[in-house]
Amino acid sequence: MKRLLIGITATSLTALLALSACETAPVDGGLLTDARNAVAHAEADPNVTRYAPTELDRARKLLINAEGAAKDKGATDKVAAHYAYLATQMARISEQRAHEQVAMSRLKEGDSERQNILLQARESEANKARADAALAQNLAQNAQAELARQQAESQRLAAQMEELQASQTSRGIVLTLGDVLFDTGRAELKAGATRPIEQIASFLNEHPERSVQVEGFTDSQGGNEYNLELSQKRADAVAMAIIQRGVAAERVRAMGYGEEFPKASNTNAGSRQLNRRVEIVVSNDGGKIPGRQTTGNP
Amino acid sequence: MITVNGIRNALWCAIAFGIVACASAPMPTDKLAVAKTAVERAEQAQAAQYAQVELTTARNKLAAAQAAADKHDADVAARMADQAEVDAQLAEFTARAKQQEQLVDQMDAGLRDLRNEAQRNSSGAGATTPQPQPQ
């Protein structure tokens, strides 16, 4: 009888052990609290209600099951704990599902955003191309207008020079004013000099980039020093007359060369007349006049 | 003797209850299969990389469910299988969400680069515009 009892006891102990193995992990009210918090957390996220309503609903129902089991059998009941655990996990699933959906819709937005950027880039490129074309056309028109202006300018210049009987030399345009400007031995301009001087002054006023060098020459009659001084005075007189007509003094230079650089032989009256002269050298656009090579008397 | 009998009866009761509770119910083979599938889905969603903790929990629960089933403990097997299923689902969705979020990060970086490039091209327009050459 005693042996039987012990045997029975051993068997029932095994059964009891088996029974205790039925219990899930630590069973306490903590799991239920966790579940309530997890469901509340998911409910607070508008993305969860929007993207994972099914999962959220299942979490709620599982929580209700857990609450019910806890009410019937106590919060430490293993069934209550089980449902509480399921509710917690389901609430987390609903959140992850919402995260995934949010990310996916963001990806879709990004795709159209990319299309937009590319479209705008293409548009701005097209606009740029149009602007470039317009600018190029504008430049071409300007260049053409400038060319026309320069042509007209050089024609006018040529006409004016022709009127002044100018000649193109290696030093620039040279105007030669004969001996009609001065009386013999004098350095005062005669009335007849007014017109060519006015023409030169107005030419210089129209072409502010140019300057002139007024060069005086005599024939070989008289002393060398006297002639040099006379030619300088005459050049000065012409320069002064030009300056008085509104041309800046630094654009007008006067040089007397006396008998030097004769045009003709000085052996007769005709050739001497050619040598008595005032030359006006007009600079090129740069305003420079190359110096006269001192070759001396021939 | 009454006490001994009482204890004996109680023990018999307990044995009977234990058998009813743990062994008499049919084994939840369908729940186990569902849990197993859920774990496999999580694995396919690269949960091993993106939701390691959740996947490990699911695998452990599935193993516990299987062990309980082997011991003919249908209740525990069913509960463990259910828990393994939700654990696996959580692992799967966590992994999927993380991967999508990673894609969003990459996309944002790409958009940033694209925007910068577009801005550079439009603001650098002057460099390619023909400039009047000095004569």
Query: Would strands A252-256 and A212-217 be described as parallel, antiparallel, or unpaired?
Result: parallel
Cβ partners under 8 Å of residue A188, min gap 6: A182, A237
pLDDT higher than 70, residue B13: no
Percent of chain A with pLDDT over 90: 46
Residue range A246-252: average pLDDT? 92
Q: Is residue A19 part of a domain?
A: no
Q: Which of A86, A103, A117 sits opposite B104 (nearest CB)?
A: A103
Q: Is residue A135 part of a domain?
A: yes
What's the structural domain count of chain A? 2
Q: Would you state the pLDDT for residue A81?
A: 92
φ and ψ of A280, to 5 deg: -115, 115
Q: Which of A21, A113, A132 sits opposite B129 (nearest CB)?
A: A132
Residue range B51-65: average pLDDT? 97
Residue range A101-121: average pLDDT? 92
Q: Is residue B70 part of a domain?
A: yes
Q: Is residue B91 part of a domain?
A: yes
Confidence of residue B3 (pLDDT cuts 50, 70, 90): low
Q: Are residues A110 and A202 in the same domain?
A: no
Which range marks the domain in which residue A199 is found? Answer: 154-282
Residue range A183-191: average pLDDT? 84
Tokens of B5: 């009998």
Residues 48-107 of B with CB under 8 A from A: 68, 71, 73, 75-76, 79-80, 82-83, 86-87, 89-90, 93-94, 96-97, 100-101, 103-104, 107
pLDDT higher than 70, residue B61: yes
Confidence of residue A87 (pLDDT cuts 50, 70, 90): very high
CATH number, domain containing residue A209 = 3.30.1330.60
Q: Are residues A135 and A161 in the same domain?
A: no
Q: Would you state the pLDDT for residue A296?
A: 44
Confidence of residue B78 (pLDDT cuts 50, 70, 90): very high
Tokens of A253: 């230079």
Q: Is residue B131 part of a domain?
A: no
Indicate the range of A37-41, A245-249, B59-63 predicted with least confidence: A245-249
Residue with the larger pLDDT of the pair B7 and B107: B107
| Best to test chain A binding among B24, B94, B112, B128 (most A CBs inside 10 Å) | B94
Q: Are residues A134 and A217 in the same domain?
A: no
Q: Would you state the pLDDT for residue B68?
A: 96
Q: Would you state the pLDDT for residue B121?
A: 75
Q: Are residues A129 and A194 in the same domain?
A: no
Q: Is residue A3 part of a domain?
A: no
A215: β partners: A255, A279
Q: Are residues A162 and A255 in the same domain?
A: yes
Indicate the range of A267-271, B35-39, B43-47 predicted with least confidence: A267-271
Residue range B37-57: average pLDDT? 97
Q: Are residues A197 and A278 in the same domain?
A: yes
Residue range A145-149: average pLDDT? 92
- Which residue, A12, A14, A17, A5, is CA-closest to B11? A12
- Spatial distance between the Cα atoms of A135 and A147, rounded to a whole number of angstroms: 18
What is the residue-averaged pLDDT of chain A?
84
Confidence of residue A105 (pLDDT cuts 50, 70, 90): very high
pLDDT higher than 90, residue B135: no
Q: Would you state the pLDDT for residue A72?
A: 87
Shortest CA gap A145–chain B (Å): 15
Q: Are residues A135 and A254 in the same domain?
A: no
**Virtual torsion, Cα A130, A132, A133, A134, nearest 10 deg:** 90
Confidence of residue A26 (pLDDT cuts 50, 70, 90): very low
Q: Are residues A220 and A278 in the same domain?
A: yes
Q: Is residue A144 part of a domain?
A: no
Q: A99 and B118 in contact by Cβ < 8 A? A: no
Q: Would you state the pLDDT for residue A18?
A: 41
Residue with the larger pLDDT of the pair A252 and A11: A252
Confidence of residue B35 (pLDDT cuts 50, 70, 90): very high
Q: Would you state the pLDDT for residue A203?
A: 84
Which range marks the domain in which residue B81 is found? Answer: 27-114
Q: Is residue A223 part of a domain?
A: yes
Percent of chain B with pLDDT over 90: 63
pLDDT higher than 60, residue B52: yes
Residue with the larger pLDDT of the pair A78 and A14: A78
Q: Are residues A131 and A165 in the same domain?
A: no
- Spatial distance between the Cα atoms of A284 and B22, rounded to a whole number of angstroms: 119
Q: Are residues A93 and A29 in the same domain?
A: yes
- Spatial distance between the Cα atoms of A219 and A271, rounded to a whole number of angstroms: 9
Residue with the larger pLDDT of the pair B21 and A141: A141
Residue range A172-187: average pLDDT? 81
Tokens of A268: 């007769």
Q: Would you state the pLDDT for residue A167?
A: 78
What's the structural domain count of chain B? 1
Q: Is residue B34 part of a domain?
A: yes
Q: Are residues A266 and A161 in the same domain?
A: yes
Tokens of A179: 């001996």
Buried b (16+ CB within 10 A) or exposed e, A41-60: ebeebebbeebbeebbebbb
Q: Which of B21, B82, B129 sits opposite A86 (nearest CB)?
A: B82
pLDDT tens for residues A225-241?
999 999 999 999 999 99
Residue range A151-180: average pLDDT? 78
pLDDT higher than 90, residue B132: no
Q: Is residue A13 part of a domain?
A: no
Note the ipTM here.
0.73
- Spatial distance between the Cα atoms of B80 and B61, rounded to a whole number of angstroms: 6
- Spatial distance between the Cα atoms of A115 and A122, rounded to a whole number of angstroms: 10
Shortest CA gap A76–chain B (Å): 16
Cβ partners under 8 Å of residue B129, min gap 6: A128, A131, A132, A135
Q: Would you state the pLDDT for residue B22?
A: 45
Q: B14 and A12 in contact by Cβ < 8 A? A: yes
Q: Would you state the pLDDT for residue B7?
A: 55
pLDDT higher than 90, residue B73: yes
Q: What are A48-57's contacts with CB under 8 Å, separation 24+?
A: A48/A94, A48/A95, A48/A97, A48/A98, A50/A98, A51/A97, A51/A98, A51/A101, A51/A102, A52/A93, A52/A94, A52/A95, A52/A97, A52/A98, A52/A101, A55/A90, A55/A93, A55/A94, A55/A97, A56/A91, A56/A94
Q: What are B53-56's contacts with CB under 8 Å, separation 24+?
A: B54/B87, B54/B88, B54/B90, B54/B91, B54/B94, B55/B88, B55/B91, B55/B95
Q: Would you state the pLDDT for residue A10?
A: 47
- Among A139, A164, A180, the domain-final residue is A139
Instruction: Evaluate if pTM is beyond 0.90.
Output: no
Q: Is residue A218 part of a domain?
A: yes
The full DSSP string for A58-82 is: HHHHHHHHHHHHHHHH-TT-HHHHH
- From chain A, which residues contact B within 8 Å (Cβ)? 5, 8-9, 11-12, 15-16, 18-19, 21-22, 24, 78, 82, 85-86, 89-90, 92-93, 96-97, 99-100, 103-104, 106-107, 110, 113-114, 117-118, 120-121, 124-125, 128, 131-132, 135-136, 139
Q: Is residue B6 part of a domain?
A: no
